[in-house]
Amino acid sequence: MAPPPLALSWALPLLAALAGAGGPQSFELPGAPIDNIEVSGGGMLVAGGSCLYELGPELQLRRRVVPAAVGQGCGGPPGMRSNLLLPYEEAGGGRVLLAGWTQKDGTCEVWEQPAYRQRLNRSEVVSCLPDGSTAGVVVQLAGAWYLAVAATYSAGRYGNHLGCEPSQSDEATVITVRSIDNLQSTEELGIIKRREEPLHFVDALQWGDHLFFPYYRLKARLGKDIEPPSMAVLHQPRPSDASLTLKGHVYLDCGCRSLIVSSSLIHQGKRGWWVGVFHHSPSTKAWNATAVCIFGMEEVKDQAQASTHFIVNVEKSVVESIRKLPTLVHSGLVAVYGTVVLNRIVLFLGTDDGQLLKAILNENMESNCPEVLYEIKEETSIFPKLRLDPVDNNYIYLSSANKVRRIPVANCGKYVSEQECLSAKDPYCRWCLLNQRCTLRGKCTDSKSIPQTPDTDLKVQLSFPAKNQVAVNAGVNKALTACVIKIVEPVEILHGNVVLKSSTCFCNLTTPMISNNDCLVLRASLSSRSWNITQTFQLKNCSRCIYKGDCRSCNWTHVSPATTCQDSCNAAASTEMAPAQKTEHISIHSIEPLWISTLGKSEITVKGENFTRASGIKLILTGITGCKPDIINVRNVLNDTQMTFALPPTRREAKSICIQANGKKCSPPMTLHYVSPPSCFGITPNTSWISGGRRITTSGRNFNVVDSVIISDDQRSNLTVSRCPGNDSEYHYLTPSLSHATEGKVVDMMLKVETTFIPCVKLHYHPDPVFINYQLHTELDPDLELKIYKENDNLNISKTEVEVYLSYMNGAQTKKIWFSVQNITKKPDRSTILCKFKREGTDKIDFSTVKVFVKLGNFEHEVKPTSSHIYLYVLILLPIVVAVIIAAFIVTRYKSKELTRKQSQQLELLEYEIRKEIREGFAELQMDELDVVDSFGTVPFLDYKHFALRTFFPESGGFASIFSEDVPQSRDQTSKDESFNKLHALICNKNFLVTLIHTLEKQKNFSVKDRCLFASFLTIALQTKLVYLTHILEVLTKDLMEQSSNVQPKLLLRRTESVVEKLLTNWMSVCLSGFLRETIGEPFYLLVTTLNQRINKGPVDAITCKALYTLNEDWLLWQVSEFKTVTVNVIFEKIPENESGDACQTIQVNVLDCDTIGQAKEKSLQAFLNKNGFLYGLQLDEIGLELVSEEQQRELLDIDGSSEVMEDGIRKLNTIGHYEISNGATIRVFKKKTNTRSDTDYSDEHCHLILPDSEANKDVKGAGHKGKQKFKVKEMYLTKLLSTKVAIHSVVEKLFRSIWSLPNNKAPVAIKYFFDFLDAQAESKKITDPDVVHIWKTNSLPLRFWVNILKNPQFVFDIKKTSHIDGCLSVIAQAFMDAFSLAEQTLGKEAPTNKLLYAKDIPLYKKEVKAYYKAIRDLPPLTASEVEEFLTQESMKHENEFNEKVALIEIYRYIVKYYDEIVSKLERERGFEEVQKQLQQVRELFDEKKKCKWL
């Protein structure tokens, strides 16, 4: 076979894209399920869709290989699959791969890697059956390589051979040994044949010089075989022989389970263990349907001495059976992989619902409670093969359906402390001392780390030192820090009176607890500073030992946590409970429901007998082996035959459930299925008529746990719809009536499970169908044919939904005839419903009384017949209509010619305008530069007080003045100070302040505005106590997290709806004011200045403030005409108000000919400021302009007698062009004698550049287009947005990077402190999703502080912000926040320009933001003293800035308003007795001041 890369190079980019679509840690086969997987050459081999894919260790695609058996490429022929992948390495280091395919009678190809050059291709090597088994192993015998392969070549009567039936002589062959050189089977090498029953082989293993083939008989699949599976053993008779013979087989008994579904071989030093997943033959999913059993390889080898399944000569005829108790019992295991880490056996297990579990075994082969490592969202079954990453054993490959995933072998990050990390006993985890985190092996950069060590020395022992006393010893000489001893059975009792003594603890068992069979189950948990261990014991016949000191017959053993005192259950027992299985007192008939979601169930019903006579009724819920059972007390005994329980939420699995009463034996177990919450995939149909009653089918998963379906409508309360019969994957219901619905009304369908509402699908409501008329044909006697005509609609009604009947009078009775709907045909103008009815010969219908009705769900309508006079009307009107059409044609033809001529002229002008604007826009983008003034003098910063007040009270400017005033003096100064001091001391009580805030927030009339004001008053009152304020912020933030975690943690701090959220904004403003002034202020002021300069470079409409150059499409002036720059000489005379100015100055000023006189004034004053560095001294409305010429001097005004008056009396403002001012003209600035109307105070009766609609389409001036109308299209000017963005881009990027950079590799203390606080809270709440922490940080700093600053420069500088500047800054602020967003933007051509403007820059910004967050996290943590020192310094900076007493008065007003509620809350809480007295004193003192009219 030729090397495939050359022939298939076209496909590799496509496949690489498919591989990357699921992320770097997954690979998805294009359109085909996975057939086989194997690791090879430091990577992964995946077979599926008739092709082989070689992947790198991180599942990146290396190449695709097409087998010779396929020929035409991947995807064919149908039914072909891979059943063998065996890589091995030859003596010279060359890698070889054997690949088996079901095509061509079972082909095996030998390829040389990595080029995949074909060395050999032979058929009839592997099974050619689609579901036939093949298992093989490559062995070296006498210096040569051989393939030992076991296969189901013939399934006999149990399978469909599809034309691949072997010859009669080979039909019984099951195991062959073949030379790799030719792959031919010979008797000399070894051919082993079966007897009558076909066999299914699961795996092929090599242990030492023996080969092992686990298998089962095919009839076990049908549930017809009670014989356990077997292990066939082959060996080499003599070391020099190049052949293998069958030694025999041995039965593998794992609780009477007759199928093997997965297999794994574990090497532990010199010992070997075979791990198998066994399954009961019935395909029911019971709690004990599957189990894991472990067999020693030496024991299997020694016991395999006879055979009954194979035709072989052996001396011994009795086949041995090895029985093992299951290590794990589960409802749906399908895959296993075992390995040894730090001498601990670790099992990775796959389930049939997409879970990857990890179990760790102790030295007694007992499992811990398996951990769920990963869950596949689609819940597809795991492929039976699991493999570790050959390059990095910290990852395992998980295959399911058509996707391979690379999953970490441990979730070490969930352990937040050293003790928790080490106590988990996960050999893959270790405590990294450098990062102070629990990490995977090899992931700690520091050589100093504390690994997990096997607790072989930790063997908990029991002893009975005295009567009524049990002692537990850990077996090591280490002092215990905690000890808990718990009686699990027969009655659950936790013993708290435990005495610790060095490494031993004692407890007294004073109450007899022995059941009928003298059995106790006791659980002991011991802890030291570096480890903890929990061990369960079963005590048999120990009552005399405990209570009388006679321990001769007492036996105690270590058992798994799930062990009970019940007798061992037969593993092959039925999973369903026979009716009326009686315990001593009660009998259980049924438990409903037996399918619930992982959210738990508030009520399940148990039905039976004698419930009111029993006591101590409990429900025992047992999941996978190793996990602690849930013991649930009865919730309510309704009567003698019914009682209820509440089941807790838990993970997804099937559990055994039984009822225990009076401390006796549990009832026979039943299976309770915990499944994931339901999810929806689709809906058919997705529309309904408003009258309702349409049958809807929703497809999805786990609908059998749905309590109800809710239709959510925004105009009325939620509607619960009734369910029709269905199953767990389909939900049928009838739509309710929505009489108020309009065309296209969309409602949400939600699934209610317990108290959780799960969004499902959307349902579209349309008006009821409109039926036009009908035609009834009676001439087809005896049949009736009915045609009903209806208007076309969007309902897509099928014939099965329509019911049609005809009613007529038969004497005094009304009779009905139901028609059969044949079909519905749709035409462009209408739809036709064809119905038929076959009459009996005796039926007589009075057609004069006939009425036709159509019924659709709840909608029923009478259809009117077609009128018989319509044909007469048509004949009369036809000549008239023809004449009208001819006349209309003649008139239309003439008008069409005239219209075509006008349109040609208009299109010519439009084409000219578009060409001109596009060329100018392109040239501007390439050539235009903005002369940014690098030096703009002193930045006009506001002082701290005004900055803080504008930040604290952005919408309440009145507070700025009252916080600057002094409090009126009282005659009783001592009393006044005492009242404020006591109130200040009260809010400095942390417990009181937190309780006060929570109490206020619970009041319904404590609005969001009140919360923000209260937070600001509190910030001012505690301005000099920032350390205390920060502590309050921590407490309130933690409380807010507790509230948010129950709903959606990503919404934390997103809005300002609580006191703590506004408090955080104020705290950031206080702590970052210095950083803002020193680092951000200059680039921010440069941005504002640059934006103003760019806007004023082009025309600006004086009425609407829209400009040609802008960033915001809403502020784009696209109605502009041509304009030019005019340079004028402006004379500034010396005025008394300007002491710094010279006697007289003449300054050149650039204005536009379309500028109003007011705009020319603004540019003149700005030019004066730029040249001199100080203001002229007069305000804009105090100066006037005068045109100086040789003939005369003329005052320039926006409105005068020469102003142009347009239609509707609208006056156009005068411009520089209106006065015909040319380059070099001289204009004098003078001081007005009277303060006349402001230049910006104009009403709707005036216009500037945006003309009224009637004037906008006047004839265009110019010889080339005389008499032609000029068209304007807004989109032609969108390039102006881009040119503005390009002009200020460097300034914007400088500002952004000054915000998210770390000067001198140091972050502001406030940012580092709060980010570390958020990280710590996420770890304490075990939030492993990094996106949640990223969003928290974004909501707390960029969203809460920086965006507020970017959109409001007047908070920082002594400037005035115009509405236009606000619109531009909003675009920049949006781009700034998009940089912090984790959502990927998918913008189309119709997306808003505000988003498109920075679309290409956002990905780079996002990388910089992530690096910024990472850099802050990687900085050394701040010590408490560093944070306290910073906050203390900030407090000292702002002493005496505010009148804190005003803030205290405002806080007191809130306390008085809700005084009763606050006192009531304090009375309910403990420890607030003294605080209540202080609060009463404060009120008395302030009431005294009220009498003096001071407050």
Q: Is the pLDDT of residue 500 over 80?
A: no
pLDDT grade for 908, boundaries at 50, 70 and 90:
confident
Q: Is 1061 left (phi over 0), alpha (psi -120 to 50) or beta?
A: alpha
Distance separating alpha carbons of residues 298 and 936, to the nearest angstrom? 88
Q: What is the pLDDT of residue 408?
A: 94
pLDDT grade for 870, boundaries at 50, 70 and 90:
low
Q: What is the pLDDT of residue 922?
A: 60
Cβ within 8 Å of residue 860, ≥6 positions away: 853, 854
pLDDT grade for 216, boundaries at 50, 70 and 90:
very high
pLDDT for 116-149, tens place per residue? 999 989 888 999 888 889 999 999 888 889 999 9
Q: What is the mean pLDDT of residues 4-21?
A: 37
Q: Is the pLDDT of residue 1253 over 80?
A: no
Contact 1281, 1110 (CB under 8 A): yes
Q: Is the pLDDT of residue 1261 over 50?
A: no
Distance separating alpha carbons of residues 265 and 339, to the nearest angstrom? 8
pLDDT for 1159-1216, tens place per residue? 999 899 888 887 877 777 788 888 889 888 877 788 899 888 888 888 778 888 999 9
Listed range (224-233, 475-484, 740-749, 866-875) with the worst mean pLDDT: 866-875
pLDDT for 1048-1085, tens place per residue? 677 777 777 788 888 999 999 899 888 888 888 888 88
Residue found under tokens 């190049």:
242
Distance separating alpha carbons of residues 1248 and 1245, to the nearest angstrom? 11
pLDDT grade for 1268, boundaries at 50, 70 and 90:
very low
Q: What is the pLDDT of residue 396?
A: 95
Q: Is the pLDDT of residue 454 over 60?
A: no
Q: What is the pLDDT of residue 715?
A: 60
Q: What is the mean pLDDT of residues 864-885?
A: 75
Q: CB-side exposure of 345: number of CA atoms within 13 Å?
A: 26
1119 vs 511, more confident:
1119
Distances from the Cα of 1170 to the Cα of 387, 723, 942, 1077, 1174, angstroms: 73, 77, 21, 23, 8
Residue found under tokens 């060395």:
119
Q: Is the pLDDT of residue 47 over 90?
A: yes
pLDDT for 530-570, tens place per residue? 666 778 888 888 888 887 778 878 888 877 665 666 543 33
Contact 457, 475 (CB under 8 A): yes
pLDDT for 247-291, tens place per residue? 999 999 998 888 999 999 999 988 999 999 999 876 678 888 999
Q: What is the mean pLDDT of residues 1313-1321?
A: 89
Give percent of the chain above pLDDT 90.
23
Q: Is the pLDDT of residue 607 over 50?
A: yes
Q: What is the mean pLDDT of residues 1312-1316?
A: 90
Q: What is the pLDDT of residue 579?
A: 38
Q: Is the pLDDT of residue 379 over 60?
A: yes
Give the pairing type, strands 371-375 and 387-388. Answer: unpaired
Q: What is the pLDDT of residue 201?
A: 95
pLDDT for 1391-1417, tens place per residue? 787 778 888 888 898 899 999 989 998
Q: What is the pLDDT of residue 169?
A: 60
Q: Three-class SS of residue 580?
A: coil
Q: What is the pLDDT of residue 928?
A: 57
DSSP 52-72: EEEE-TT--EEEEE--TTT-S
Q: Is the pLDDT of residue 931 over 60?
A: no
Q: What is the pLDDT of residue 648?
A: 92
pLDDT for 795-836, tens place per residue? 889 999 999 999 988 878 888 889 999 999 998 889 999 999
Q: What is the pLDDT of residue 293?
A: 95
pLDDT grade for 99, boundaries at 50, 70 and 90:
very high
Q: Is the pLDDT of residue 1 over 50?
A: no
Q: Is the pLDDT of residue 71 over 80?
A: no
pLDDT for 710-723, tens place per residue? 887 766 667 777 77
Distance separating alpha carbons of residues 1134 and 198, to the nearest angstrom? 115
Q: What is the pLDDT of residue 387?
A: 95
Q: What is the pLDDT of residue 185?
A: 86
Q: Is the dihedral of CA 727, 732, 733, 738 positive or negative?
A: positive
What radius of gyration do the chain's Cα atoms show? 43
Q: Is the pLDDT of residue 666 over 70?
A: yes
Q: What is the mean pLDDT of residues 1414-1428?
A: 89
Question: Within a 10 A sphere around the Cβ of 253, how many other Cβ atoms?
Answer: 20
Q: What is the pLDDT of residue 581?
A: 40
Q: What is the pLDDT of residue 1269?
A: 40
Q: Is the pLDDT of residue 76 over 60?
A: yes
Q: Is the pLDDT of residue 524 over 60?
A: yes
pLDDT for 1150-1171, tens place per residue? 999 899 999 999 899 888 887 8
Listed range (493-502, 1001-1010, 1475-1484) with the worst mean pLDDT: 493-502
Q: What is the pLDDT of residue 54?
A: 93
Q: Is the pLDDT of residue 489 over 80?
A: no
